[in-house]
Amino acid sequence: MQIAMLLMRQTFVMFVIIAVGALLVRAKLLKVEDGKTISVVTLYVGLPCVIIKAFLTDYSAAARKGVLLALGAAFMIHVLMYLISWILGKIFGLDIMEKSSLIYTNVGNLIIPIIMATIGDRWVVYASAYLCVQSLFFWSFGQRGMHQENSFNWRKMFNSNFVAALIGMALFFTGVPVPKIIYGGLDLVSGIVGPLAMLNIGLICAGMNWKKYFTSARLYLIVFLKMILCPLIILLILKYSGMQSLAPNGKMVLYAVLLATMTPSAMMIVQLASVCGRDAEYGTSINVATTLVCIVTMPLLTMLYMM
């Protein structure tokens, strides 16, 4: 219950930052287009620092088992989510944008800062392991689906976040020490990710055609599938499969992974949709709607998991 309350408070704080971003546009202090600059700073500067810093934890047998458990769980979840999205796609006629919104989450922009603020920095490494696996799937299967390609573009997989995860894991498993001045820089820059990501969502909200999408029953179906049905299935598997016994503090390790699955749809879906000539505004509406709903669903799912 305590973690759920902390989570609710933190998501509310982030909702306030979203509102501030929207107000800045309304007051003509910022433009919707400024969100692109914020995205670049967050994606190419902030997130890599967060990921590398997350792996700079004291190496131990328990931590190693935890990271391996998180990686294994993340891989299993992505395979399962591909299967679930395929089944739901057959039932509801989901397009590639909607399927991608079910599979890929905003783990880097949203969950990593939330974990830092609620259960502590030591658990961020496990969410970062999830982010590493997600990057692998997104820039292989995900981008191929968006582009409707028949072959993989493996070079796109090696984006800044994936490379940062590889660097972080290398530092973690080798135990190579990082100078304090570098760690201090990583720590300082890491703090900007959450606020900037929420501010960017606020800018997007201010420029959206709310009536076009938020009066559509289709959007609410996707939100239900993404924020309630899919994470509930994952929750039951992580809670009752016996996986928690595979590592010390396995329950909390898998909770960090679960948080990554119950977060809103990924912003990078919108960015890729824009590049591919798909309906990026619809993707944005899914992202915004799931972000608003997570203020309620994430604490409730947390309470169910911790019971």
Q: What is the mean pLDDT of the chain?
A: 84
30 compared with 55, residue with greater pLDDT: 30
The per-residue pLDDT for range 143-176, each reduced to its tens digit, is 666 655 555 566 666 777 778 888 988 888 888 8
Angle at CA 34, nearest 5°, toward 112 and 13? Answer: 40
Instruction: Provide the pLDDT for residue 292.
Output: 83
Query: pTM here?
Result: 0.83
Is it the case that residue 52 has pLDDT exceeding 80? yes
Provide mean pLDDT across the span 72-92: 95
The confidence band for 27, taking pLDDT boundaries of 50, 70 and 90, is very high
Q: Which long-range contacts (CB under 8 A, 24 or more apart) does 5-10 make?
A: 5/299, 6/117, 6/118, 6/119, 7/114, 7/118, 7/298, 7/299, 7/302, 8/295, 8/298, 8/299, 10/114, 10/117, 10/118
Average pLDDT, integer, range 68-88: 95
User: According to the model, what pLDDT value does residue 12 have?
Assistant: 80
- How many residues are given for the chain? 307
Tell whether the model's pLDDT for residue 44 goes beyond 90: no
Q: Are 221 and 286 in contact (CB under 8 A)?
A: no
Coil, strand or helix: which one is 110? helix
Residue type for 268, please? M
pLDDT at site 225:
96
What is the set of domains in the chain, with CATH numbers?
2-306 (1.20.1530)
| Residue 228, pLDDT above cutoff 90 | yes
Residues whose CB is less than 8 angstroms from the CB of residue 97 and which lie 6 or more positions away in sequence, other chains included = 269, 273, 278, 279, 282, 283, 286
Cβ neighbours of 157 (radius 10 Å): 16
From 44-48, 175-179, 270-274, 294-298, the region with the lowest mean pLDDT: 270-274
Query: CA distances (Å), 52 to each of 73, 237, 258, 296, in order?
Result: 20, 29, 21, 30
Within 13 A of 195's CA, how many CA atoms are on the CB side? Answer: 5
Model confidence over 233-258: pLDDT tens digits?
999 999 999 999 999 999 999 999 99
pLDDT at 276 over 70: no
* 157: its two tokens: 């997989």
Least confident interval from 71-75, 145-149, 183-187, 291-295: 145-149
Q: How far apart are CA 55 and CA 172, in angstroms?
A: 6
* pLDDT tens digits along 98-130: 998 999 998 876 777 788 777 887 888 888 889
